[in-house]
Amino acid sequence: MALALEMKGITKYFSSTDVQANDNVNLTVEAGEVLALVGENGAGKTTLMNILYGLIKPDSGEIIINGEEVQIGHPDDAIKHGIGMVHQHFKLVPSFTVAQNIILGMEPNKAGFLSPKEENKVVKDLADKFNLPVDPKAQIRDLPVGMQQRVEILKVLLREAKILILDEPTAVLTPQEVKELMEVVRDLAKMGYSVIFITHKLIEVMEVADRVSVMRAGKNVGSKKVSDTNIPDLARMMVGREVLLRVKKDTIQRGKPVFEAKDVSVSDVHGLAAISHVSFDVHEGEIVGLAGVSGNGQTELVEVISGMRPLDGGKVFLNDQDITQANVRDRRNAGVAHIPEDRMEVGLNLQTNLDENLIISRYNQSEFSKFGFLLSKSIHRFAETVVNSFSISAAKPGEDISMLSGGNLQKVVVGRELSGNPSFIIANQPTRGLDVGSIEFVHKTLIEERDRGAGVLLVSVELEEIMALADRILVLFRGQIQGELEAKTATEEEVGILMAGGKLSDLVSKQPESGKESK
């Protein structure tokens, strides 16, 4: 088949971070091909795509489209040459309708007036043509993430892109949405479109892509036909060493309960019940996995446990102490660590440096401040310790963190939270957007913490992560605990049924059905 795109010798050096983000990268995509682009966090995938889309100027290199060398200095040029990009963080206007967002900037003009009817029709036709049903009149803010992504894709298609770049499109999707997206991508390829699909989930590579290119430290270290490779092979190419895709875990004796929730109810931001009458506990030396499709109350539950959100009813205990009324700081001082799901907005302050990010929950301790003054030397030393013991090579004490890649940012959060021997760890989607090597690292660290005697509440929408780490599994469905399973005997099928709101009795099973606490 004909080459739709060829990138030759792309090189980009970022002086502000002293990073060779792209180092003489060659990349080809055929028409009608899905190319997966994988690589560790910070390998330079997004940079390469931003160069292709005209957001970043390369230091050197050529871009050849349909056999002709082109200059792309601006996204407008990229669009002109049939390149479209869906960013990981969507760029839609929440208060606009689907149609307004898709049409934005190219409204059919009726003597200077907008014509919503016309716009809706254009979008409807487009959606039909690509078999991507959307409601043109719906407001973006009311749509689930998967639907918003579809809007982004339609937006790109309307601009007549023939090469679509999807930067980590599945990171925020539910498994069902991922499945739908895969079908969309395959359909597009069948219609002759080329798709560059960035992902950290190698299983998705195997499912959706024709070919895969692996990047490491700014270089393209190999391109292969998907049929000629397998997941362990890709993982090795990415990381440059053998990776444990499923970390080893010994069974250990759990201790006394460290955390307890009793009959907890919480409302969401709109005042609607998000969690109703939930009770469970987490013991020392135990990882409790809280499974569930996202949006079933996980966010609210975690905010209540960490003290960020007041609860409507019920009580929470830490080491037998009632902490229902305790604020965030008291809880943290009492030994609660919290890896939040949103590292960019909640877990980190990207406007300040590494040191100040690392002391956010401990600047009051005598080690870091005296007589109201910060002890910058010992803070700096602490930063060095965290950087070394969690090998966050990219982060440097005293320097800004805003340019770190997603994986390194997450390492900063994990390093901060797991320093200082917490007794109870809330880990909410701790590996979202991380590469296989970093996932291995986070998983290993969580298990080490458990072995040390900490209680861990692992909240994850990834069934695999729950199955790999948890000792006990709770399934959250519509704000309630739909069931509890012993991890050793639980099957993915059982958890899946509970996640969908079913009952275990629907399945011929040896597990007793229980929504209650096992004492």
Partner 1 sequence: MKNKKFQKILDAILIPVLAILSGLVLMGVLIAITGKPVWESYGVLFSKAFGCEKASNCAIITTLERATPIMLTGLSAVVAFRSGLFSIGQEGQYLMASVVAGWLGYSIHLPNGVHQIVILLACMAVGAAYGFIPGVLKVKLGVNELLSTIVLNSIATLFIEYMVQFPMRADVSTTAHSPIIDVTAQLPTFMAGSKWGVGFVIAVIAVIAVYIYLWRTKSGYEQRMAGQSKRFALYGGVPSDKAAIRAMIISGALAGLAGAVEVMGVHRRIMTGFSTGLGFDGVTAAILGQTHPFGVFIVSILFAGLKLGAQLGLQLKLGIPRELGGTIIGFIILFVAASKFYEGNIDRIRAWFKKPDKQKAKGGGD
User: In the set 5, 7, 10, 21, which binds ligand ATP (CB under 6 A)?
Assistant: 21
Measured from the CB atom, the residue of 46 and 299 that comes closer to Mg ion is 46
Smallest gap, in angstroms, from Cβ of residue 331 to partner 1? 8
Q: Look at residues 165, 212, 198, 145 and name the one whose alpha carbon lies nearest to residue 461.
A: 145
Report the C-alpha gap between 179 and 184 in whole angstroms.
Answer: 9
Contacts of 151 (CB under 8 A, 6+ apart): 92, 98, 101, 102, 134, 140, 143
Smallest gap, in angstroms, from Cβ of residue 405 to Mg ion? 6
> Identity (one letter) of the amino acid at 229?
T
Main-chain dihedrals φ then ψ at residue 12, nearest 5 degrees: -145, 125
Smallest gap, in angstroms, from Cβ of residue 57 to partner 1? 9
Q: Tell me if 403 contacts ligand ATP by CB under 6 A.
A: yes
Main-chain dihedrals φ then ψ at residue 268, nearest 5 degrees: -85, -175
Ranges within 421-460 binding ligand ATP (CB under 6 A): none
> How far, CA to CA in Å, does 225 sit from each of 6, 35, 45, 205, 436?
17, 9, 19, 11, 20
Smallest gap, in angstroms, from Cβ of residue 383 to Mg ion? 25
Q: Tell me if 353 contacts ligand ATP by CB under 6 A.
A: no
Report the C-alpha gap between 338 and 330 in whole angstroms.
Answer: 13
Q: Which does 6 bind (CB under 5 to 8 A by kind): Mg ion, ligand ATP, partner 1, none?
A: none
Measured from the CB atom, the residue of 396 and 450 that comes closer to partner 1 is 396
Instruction: Find the DSSP H helices in 81-115.
Output: 98-103
Long-range contacts of 500-505 (CB under 8 A, 24+ apart): 500/293, 501/477
Ranges within 42-71 binding ligand ATP (CB under 6 A): 42-47
Smallest gap, in angstroms, from Cβ of residue 167 to Mg ion? 6
Report the C-alpha gap between 405 and 388 in whole angstroms.
Answer: 18
Q: Tell me if 213 contacts ligand ATP by CB under 6 A.
A: no
- Reduce the DSSP state of residue 252 to 3 states and report it: coil
Smallest gap, in angstroms, from Cβ of residue 159 to ligand ATP? 23
User: In the set 4, 25, 39, 305, which binds ligand ATP (CB under 6 A)?
Assistant: 39
- Which strand (E) or helix (H) includes residue 451? helix 436-452
Supply 78's token pair. 């990229």
User: In the set 32, 41, 155, 429, which binds ligand ATP (CB under 6 A)?
Assistant: 41
Supply 363's token pair. 């600047």
Q: Which does 399 bind (CB under 5 to 8 A by kind): ligand ATP, partner 1, Mg ion, none?
A: partner 1
Q: Tell me if 407 contacts ligand ATP by CB under 6 A.
A: yes
Q: Which does 403 bind (CB under 5 to 8 A by kind): Mg ion, ligand ATP, partner 1, none?
A: ligand ATP
Site residues (vs partner 1, CB under 8 A): 13, 15, 18, 306-308, 327-332, 338, 340, 342, 345-349, 351-352, 356, 359-361, 363-364, 369, 372-374, 376, 399
Smallest gap, in angstroms, from Cβ of residue 197 to ligand ATP? 13
Smallest gap, in angstroms, from Cβ of residue 462 to ligand ATP? 17
Report the C-alpha gap between 123 and 248 in whole angstroms.
Answer: 50
Distance, first Cα to last Cα, the chain: 63
Smallest gap, in angstroms, from Cβ of residue 166 to Mg ion? 12
Applying CB under 5 A, the span of 38-46, 111-119, 135-143, 235-243 interacting with Mg ion comes to: 38-46
Summary count for the chain: helices (H), strands (E): 16, 22
Measured from the CB atom, the residue of 215 and 474 that comes closer to Mg ion is 215
Measured from the CB atom, the residue of 306 and 405 that comes closer to partner 1 is 306
Smallest gap, in angstroms, from Cβ of residue 172 to ligand ATP? 13
Q: Which does 146 bind (CB under 5 to 8 A by kind): ligand ATP, partner 1, Mg ion, none?
A: none
User: In the set 5, 7, 19, 383, which binds ligand ATP (CB under 6 A)?
Assistant: 19
Binding-site size for ligand ATP (CB under 6 A) equals 19
Report the C-alpha gap between 493 and 507 in whole angstroms.
Answer: 9
Smallest gap, in angstroms, from Cβ of residue 414 to ligand ATP? 14
Smallest gap, in angstroms, from Cβ of residue 15 to partner 1? 4
Q: Tell me if 46 contacts Mg ion by CB under 5 A.
A: yes
Q: Which does 17 bind (CB under 5 to 8 A by kind): Mg ion, partner 1, ligand ATP, none?
A: ligand ATP
Do 480 and 296 touch, CB atoms closer than 8 A? no
Measured from the CB atom, the residue of 46 and 357 that comes closer to Mg ion is 46
Main-chain dihedrals φ then ψ at residue 46, nearest 5 degrees: -65, -40
Main-chain dihedrals φ then ψ at residue 303, nearest 5 degrees: -65, -35
Main-chain dihedrals φ then ψ at residue 193, nearest 5 degrees: -80, 155
Main-chain dihedrals φ then ψ at residue 477, nearest 5 degrees: -140, 125
Binding-site size for Mg ion (CB under 5 A) equals 1
Q: Which does 328 bind (CB under 5 to 8 A by kind): Mg ion, partner 1, ligand ATP, none?
A: partner 1
Report the C-alpha gap between 411 and 393 in whole angstroms.
Answer: 10
Do 390 and 411 touch, CB atoms closer than 8 A? yes
- Reduce the DSSP state of residue 152 to 3 states and report it: helix
Query: Which residues here bind ligand ATP, judged by CB under 6 A?
Result: 14, 16-17, 19, 21, 39, 41-47, 394, 403-407
Query: Which residues here bind Mg ion, judged by CB under 5 A?
Result: 46
